[in-house]
Amino acid sequence: MTIDAADIQRLADLLHGQRLVVLTGAGCSTESGIPDYRGPETRRKARNPLQYRAFVDDEAGRVKYWSRSAVGWPRFRQSQPNAAHQALAVLETTGLVRGVITQNVDRLHQAAGSRRVVELHGALEDVCCLACGAMEHRDNVQGRILALNPGWDAQAVDFAPDGDAELAATTAQAFQVPDCVACGGMLKPNVIFFGESVPSETVDAAWRLFDECDALLVVGSSLAVYSGYRFVREAARRRKPIAIINLGETRGDGEAWVRVEGRCGTVLPALVDALGASPSSFAA
Ligand SMILES: NC(=O)c1ccc[n+]([C@@H]2O[C@H](COP(=O)([O-])OP(=O)(O)OC[C@H]3O[C@@H](n4cnc5c(N)ncnc54)[C@H](O)[C@@H]3O)[C@@H](O)[C@H]2O)c1
Ligand SMILES: [Zn+2]
């Protein structure tokens, strides 16, 4: 898809000289090979995401989660930042972008060099013990999973968003769930499941960043999830300029001052150029 130069100019005119907070969603990472939930391709394969209670209350829920994520994780962890993540990191070095509030759990903003990132929904590479609170890197847990379930990651599957993967229903039955190494307690990926709320410290950090800024840029989010959409609502209430870059419609379209239809991996580098903020000019 080609992008309209007039759109980029409108975006640059709106955002130039502002202190900008960026809200990103799954669409920011599709060009890194991580599927979104509600994009043109994924909507057709409507899935039933795991609910928080089904995970903590039910062994079968945990078997389902870990058996699938054991297959999905190796590919998820290899994802690399794309041109959209890189452009946002460049715009932070120029001072235009003050920080990113992300709904993504892939840590690709940090991998691209963004420094101030609020992870609204946590990160998949962190695993937390619900009994003792110990945090462990997902790679370590993966090692234990494969020791308990040799060869489990060698299955042919259909990869899904959030590091999940579709398995044949029968294969999950014999799966052994990993426990906390410190206390034997229940492990949970440190991400917000459906039916769980965002911790108040995280929400506070997001509002602090929001309050420091004059304008909001949304990148690659349908805004269907309220924990992200509330920033658009509040920006509208306070009459802060709102810009949206997305493929397809979003819940915030009616509130946007400028809306650019396009791939963020194309639009954001064009915005960097339009603002005269090339990476080389800020390399020092
Ligand atoms: N990468 C990740 O970490 C990841 C992936 C899937 C889901 N999630 C989780 O699921 C929830 C999904 O909500 P959401 O609003 O973030 O995502 P969403 O799937 O609801 O919306 C993504 C939007 O981005 C658009 N899009 C896809 N590719 C794009 C591109 N290259 N350029 C511009 N737009 C593009 C889609 O059309 C869609 O409108 C979040 O809460 C998030 O935690 C995270
Ligand atoms: Zn523990």
Nearest ligand, measured from the Cα of 180: 2
Examine the domain organization and report whether 180 and 204 are in the same domain. no
Q: Does residue 107 line the site of ligand 1, with CB under 6 A?
A: no
Q: What pTM, to 2 d.p., does this model score?
A: 0.91
167: confidence class by pLDDT, cuts 50, 70, 90: low
Q: What is the pLDDT of residue 45?
A: 47
Nearest residue to 43 via CA among 222, 254, 230? 222
Specify the pLDDT at position 7. Answer: 95
**Are residues 7 and 132 both part of a single domain?**
no
Q: At 174, phi and psi to the nearest 5?
A: -90, 10
Same domain membership, residue 98 and residue 235: yes
Ligand 1 atom showing the smallest separation from residue 248 Cα: 37
Q: Which residues surround ligand 2, an ion (CB under 5 A)?
A: 129, 131-132, 134, 180, 182-183, 185
Q: Bigger pLDDT: 250 or 48? A: 250
Query: Is 121 an active-site residue?
Result: yes
How many other C-beta atoms lie within 10 A of the C-beta of residue 281? 11
Q: Which of 191, 207, 225 is the last residue of a domain?
A: 191
Judged by average pLDDT, the poorest of 44-58, 154-168, 190-204, 250-264 is 154-168
Contact 109 CB / ligand 1 (< 6 Å): no
Residue 42 has pLDDT above 60, yes or no: no
- Together in a domain, 146 and 203: no
Mean pLDDT of 48-73: 91
Domain at 15, CATH number: 3.40.50.1220
Q: Which domain holds residue 226?
A: 1-34+81-121+196-284
- The answer to which of 127-131, 157-161, 174-178 has the lowest mean pLDDT is 157-161
Is the same domain home to 24 and 115? yes
- Max mean pLDDT range (79-83, 150-154, 192-196): 79-83
Nearest CA-CA partner of 190 in 182, 199, 177: 199
Domain at 70, CATH number? 3.30.1600
How far apart are the CA of 5 and the centre of ligand 1, in A? Answer: 25
Q: Atom 26 of ligand 1 has which residue's CA nearest to it?
A: 27
Q: Is the pLDDT of residue 274 over 70?
A: yes
Whether residue 208 sits in one domain with residue 114? yes
The mean pLDDT value of the chain amounts to: 90
Band of pLDDT at residue 172, cut at 50, 70 and 90? low
- Neighbour order of strands in the sheet with 258-261: 117-119, 97-102, 20-24, 215-219, 242-246, 258-261
- The tally of domains found in the chain comes to 2
Q: 65 with 138, same domain?
A: yes
Pair 147, 186 in one domain = yes
- Residue 38 is given by DSSP the state S
* Number of CB atoms found within 10 A of residue 163's CB: 25
Q: Are residues 59 and 95 in the same domain?
A: no
Verify that 215 and 95 share a domain, yes or no.
yes
Of 191, 209, 228, which residue sits at a domain end? 191
In the predicted model, is pLDDT for residue 75 greater than 60? yes
pLDDT of residue 152: 85
Percent of the chain whose pLDDT exceeds 90: 79
Whether the predicted pLDDT of 184 surpasses 90 = yes
Atom 44 (ligand 1): residue with closest C-alpha?
A: 104
Q: Is the pLDDT of residue 44 over 70?
A: no
Question: What's the confidence (pLDDT) of residue 154?
Answer: 74
Query: Is it the case that residue 105 has pLDDT exceeding 50?
Result: yes
Res 170: pLDDT: 52
> Is residue 152 domain-shared with residue 66, that is, in the same domain?
yes
Q: Is the pLDDT of residue 47 over 80?
A: no
Q: Could you say which of 162, 191, 220 is where a domain stops? A: 191
Same domain, 281 and 208: yes
Strands (E), the chain: 20-24, 97-102, 117-119, 122-129, 135-137, 158-159, 165-166, 187-191, 215-219, 242-246, 258-261
